[in-house]
Each structure stands twice: as structure tokens, then as C-alpha cells.
Chains A and B, each alone.
Chain A
Amino acid sequence: MIEAHQLTKRYGEKTAVDRLDFTVRPGTVTGFLGPNGAGKSTTMRMIVGLDAPTGGSVTVNGRRYAGHSAPLQEVGALLEAKAIHPGRSAFNHLMAQAYTHGIPRRRVEEVIAMTGLQSVARKRAGAFSLGMGQRLGIAAALLGDPATIMLDEPVNGLDPEGVLWIRNLLTALADEGRTVFVSSHLMSEMALVADHLIVVGRGRLLADTTVDDLVRQAGGDTVKVVSADPAKLRELLSGAGVEISGRAGSETLEVTGLSARAIGTKAAAAGIAVYELTPRSVSLEQAFMELTRDAVEYHGSTAADDRTAVEDHGTAEKTGSAA
């Protein structure tokens, strides 16, 4: 369980984390999502006490991280930046961490086996590939058999096999009743593992929601209708809870709040020819971009084109959110 109250971090003029309030609960995978520079890593560093908050507080299992007498047993953390000495072997690195808590050597060997590092455990960690480095970081995070596991961008730079491995690991850890908190800037990745989402942008909380709710909030299910008489159809369909948009002179309408079936029935009853009737649910990716559009730190100059491209893509795919 991680609880943040009005958590704030300022670096001079710049506010990296702005009055965040959220709770990460046990038994589920909670995704921590936001564009680059949204303050995800800073928040995670504050959770484990590497950075001190400028304001507010964050507690782990009811207490400040540094206030725990066995911190590695409370939280296991994989931070984004490397946190190993390249000259030390993986085994010695884990042993050094274990010694601080009196964790037995047996457990070190256990986490090495769990992360599949047996064959390289005695090699210098500096020679590790990105994937092996991530595995070592995860081995260190699991060392204290912690109730809360926090991983900052764990799939960054991993090959598909590594990604799959992390995905399964996260789900397994949550199924054991642990609190799992994972950051990513990739919505698509989060959609596959996370049940709950905390979305931030420019240090602010944008959403604290479930995957399904996020899609619903972001425009939910719209239906694209191309008809012979859009003006008449618009009149026909309008009502409470129904939203209709469409450009003047265009045959296309975007309808929210009615099913494709209902639209088709009404159009048929009024004798309006319908050329196209396409239900389209917003993809998670779109929902995320919608949410963070104003909060993206660095806009590319072609952002508008990209958005269109993503929308088309989303339509074609009929969204991966259900997967």
C-alpha cells in the first residue's frame, strides 16, 4: 500500500510533482502512466526516500519509507537509472544488499534463480546487456520478499521475451496479494497488465481510474454515421444523453450515447439512406493522449498528424482495450 498526500517536488522554479494524491492498493497491478517528464520517476524516488518532498508526504504501508526498520522487506524498487557498480558481480551486488538486512544467502540464490541469472551471476554487472541489467534490478527488488513492488519503466529496452516475462511476473506478484506499482509512458503496455491506472502529466494527477473507466471517460463509444440527409438524421437522433457532431456540408456524423443498432433502426424508420454505420470505441492509447494532450512536456511539430494517424489506426483495429 502506497499513499501519497499532496505530494510535491519543486526544483527551483520548476514543479516536477504537483500536489499528487493517490493510493496504490494491494492485490492489483497499478499502472503509473504519463508522458516523459511527467514526474513519474521523481514520485517513485520520493516513495523510497531518495528525494525529499518539497511538500506533502508519501507513506508505504502506513509509514514513511525511511521509518521502517526493514525497508527492503516493505518495498522492492527497480528505479529507472542503473543502480549497480559495474565492477561488482551480480551475486556480490545482491549479497551486499542482503547483508544490510541480514537476509540469508539462500534468498540471494533464490532471486537469482527466479530472474534466470544463474549463468551470469558471477560475471561483472558492467558487462550485462540491458535485459540482464533489468533482471538484476528486479532480483534486487524481490530480495526482501517485499509486500510492495515498485518498478520504474521495467520494459524499457527489453526484447519481446523480456517484456512477456515482466508481464507475467507482475501479474503473478499481484495475484499473491502484493502491491504492484509500475510506471510506463506506453499506454499499450499498461493496458495488458494494469487493472488500475494513475495518470499524471506535468506533475499533476490527471486520472485515478480503472482501464475501463478511462476509455469510457475519454469519449467512450461513438458511432460514425454516413447518411444521405445528415441534417434530418441529426434532428431525429438528438435527445437526452446523446451527443452529435459533424461538419457542415459533410455526410458524416459522430454520435455518442446511442448504439449503432438504435441509429440504424431510427434512420430506417425515417427512410434515410445510411451508407456507413461504424461503431468505434476509443482505444486506450487515444484515451491516454486525449487526457495528456495539454500535459505533454515536449510536443513534436508533427503532433497533429500523429494524432490523426493514431485515430485511424485505432479505428481500424477496433481498439485493443478489451484484450
Chain B
Amino acid sequence: MSTVTAVQAPAESAANEPRPVHKVTAARVLRSEWAKLWSLRSTWITLGLALLFVVAFGLISLWHYKSALHSGHRMDPDMVTATAADLALFGTNFGQLALGVLGVLVTAGEYSTGMIRSTLVAVPTRLPVLWAKTAVYGLIAFVVATVGVFAAFLFGHGIVAGTPAAISLSGAGVARSLLGGGLYLALVGVIGVALGALLRSVAGGISVLVATLMLVPGLAELLPTSWQNDINRYLPSNAGGSMYTVHHAAQTLSPGAGLAVFAGWTVLALAGAAYRLRNTDA
């Protein structure tokens, strides 16, 4: 680029006439975050992957159940009692990675690139940025995840027709558990947003997210048995899992309680993110 641009003084907009005042509002910050999210290629790719994971692994799980049933092999204990909805929701395990990672990128990605400086210069009160990112990304993740789990169920429940797992969308708890799955994934995405803002590092955010969702439950099994039941069900992953199981087992939380506990974890992460955003230099 070597064009010397004549400095066309922005004379017409300067000084003389009163300029229109454009104030920062919550709605405008939302609009900006919406535009920022969709103007990156990584958003499209990661959301596409999330959708693919949720649908594909749901369908694979249903096929797997059917073939295991026919071949007469011993099934995983939790698969024996599973319904078509539980099987279709198997993809959430993979979808949560994609949606959680994108959530981390939404915030930590701004720190790693330097974009955060532009963002906070435009919105120096800062917190509206976090709320807008949470709302925009939470909503998008919810829509993608819910579409994904419903699609997995609707395309896949025919696979297990005539087996003990067969159940229709109008079956008891099916629609609720599918919605719960969508909501769970959306909240994982929001936790990602919060962790990214809290840690300001893409690698750190993803590590903590994966550790929380996948490693902590394993570590909890090392605890004395008498503690396990009291602690385990309140862990983020288990409380979240309770949100979308069709029939909840005795030692797990009810879907409503699971939602409350998982939402509590989400709020905790957001509170930490808000504190750091508000109080430390960008």
C-alpha cells in the first residue's frame, strides 16, 4: 500500500454543526458483540463442528446400542437402562468441547490478539461487554445445541424402534431432557466465556474447562465412598448431566436441582470473570 492519501480533512463533520451524539447502550454493545462473533471464520467452523458432533455421536450411539443388542454382547451397564433420548444425547459429551472452546475464544481470544484494547476503549465501563458476550454466545450456543440434540433424536430414534430403548418425543421426560441437553451445552459455552475472561488465556481457559468437565469427576472417585455421594452429584459435570437424563437415578440430582446447581457454577465463574474484568488492567 503506497498510495499517499490526501488528508481530506473531515471538515464537514467538524466543529461548526453540532454533531449527533452516539451513546453507548446495552443494546448497541449486544449488536457489536453479535457482529464480532459472526465476522470470524472460527465461529462458523466451531459451531459447525459442535452441531456435527452432537448429531453424529448421538446417531452413532443409537447404532451402537442396536448392534450391541443384536450381537448379544454384554452392554455397558448404563447403556442397558438407556432410552433413545439418553442415547441421542450422547453427542453432548463431544459437543460440549466444541462449544466450550468457542466460549473461551470469545473472551480469551480478545486478550491473545489485543482486540480487548479496542473493545474496552469503546466500552470503558467494561462489564456490559461481558454481559453482552454471555448473552449473545449463550443464545447462539443454546440454539445450535438444541437443534443438534433434537435432530439427533428425531433422525435417530427410529434406529432403536422395537428395542427396550424405544421411546417417542412425546414420551415421559423426552422433550424435557432434550431441552435440558441444549441448555446444558449453552451453559458450558457460557462457562467457557467466563473462564476465558477470568484467565485471559486461550490455553488456560480450555485446560480449566476440560479439567472441570472431564477430569474432576474421575478424581472425585478417589474420595472415600462415604463422601462421594454427597460431593459427586454437585460437581459441575454431574449436576449438568442431571439436567438431561430422562430418568434420574437415586444418587443423582433431579433435573431441576441439577439445573440450579449447574447454573450456580456458571454464575460463580461469571462473577469471577466480572471481578477480574472490572478490577485489573487490560
Contacts and interface: CB of A to CB of B under 8 A. Distances in A.
Partners in one complex: yes
Interface of A: 45, 48-52, 65-66, 68-73, 77, 79, 81-89, 92-93, 95-97, 99-103, 110, 113-116, 119-120, 129, 131-132, 135, 140, 142, 144-145, 159, 161, 164-165, 168-169, 172-173, 175-178
B4 interface: yes
Contacts of B120: 49-50
Interface string B15-55: 10001011111001101100110011110000000000000
A236 to B, nearest CB: 55
A45 B117 CA distance: 9
Nearest to A131: B1
Q: How many B residues are at the interface, by size bracket?
A: 35 or more
B249 to A, nearest CB: 44
B41 A87 contact: yes
B219 interface: no
Q: Which 4 pairs show the lowest CB-CB distances between chains A and B?
A: A116-B5, A66-B124, A99-B32, A83-B117
A84 B118 contact: yes
B113 interface: yes
Contacts of A79: 117, 121
Interface string B93-129: 0000000000000000110011111101111111000
Given A48-B121, A145-B14, A100 B28 contact: yes
Nearest to B6: A168
A176 B24 contact: no
6 contacts: A50-B282, A69-B21, A71-B124, A99-B31, A135-B1, A165-B4
A132 B24 contact: no
A178 to B, nearest CB: 8
Nearest to B36: A96
B118 A97 contact: yes
B1 A115 contact: no
Contacts of B4: 116, 161, 164-165
Given A88-B115, A145-B10, 6 more contacts: A45-B281, A73-B22, A77-B121, A83-B117, A93-B118, A113-B8
Given A83-B117, A96-B35, A132-B1, A176 B14 contact: yes
A70 B121 contact: no
Contacts of A164: 4
Given A85-B40, A101-B23, A165 B7 contact: yes
Interface in B66-106: none
A114 B19 contact: no
Given A52-B281, A69-B24, A85-B109, A176 B9 contact: yes
Contact of A97 (B1, B10, B32, B116): B32
Contacts of A135: 1
B147 to A, nearest CB: 25
A44 B168 CA distance: 62
Contacts of B36: 85, 88, 92, 96
A67 to B, nearest CB: 8
| B interface SS class | loop
A237 to B, nearest CB: 50
B2 interface: yes
Given A176-B14, A177-B15, A84 B115 contact: yes
Contacts of A70: 21-24
A250 B71 CA distance: 109
Interface in B191-210: none
Given A66-B124, A84-B113, A142 B23 contact: no
A174 B172 CA distance: 72
B200 to A, nearest CB: 13
A113 B125 CA distance: 30
Nearest to B22: A101
A27 to B, nearest CB: 11
Given A101-B24, A101-B28, A176-B14, A88 B1 contact: no
A3 B122 CA distance: 20
Contacts of A71: 24, 121-124
A11 to B, nearest CB: 9
Contact of B42 (A87, A92, A144): A87
Contacts of A89: 39
B124 A49 contact: yes
B5 A115 contact: yes
A172 B7 contact: yes
Contact of A102 (B23, B35, B109): B23
A76 to B, nearest CB: 9
B41 A69 contact: no
B11 interface: yes
Given A79-B117, A87-B42, A145 B13 contact: yes
A70 B109 CA distance: 25
Contact of B122 (A72, A82, A169): A72
B251 interface: no
Given A70-B23, A113-B8, A177-B15, A87 B40 contact: yes
A100 B32 contact: yes
A246 B120 CA distance: 57
B3 interface: yes
Contacts of B124: 48-49, 65-66, 68, 71
A70 B123 CA distance: 9
Contacts of A172: 7, 9
Given A83-B118, A100-B32, A176 B39 contact: no
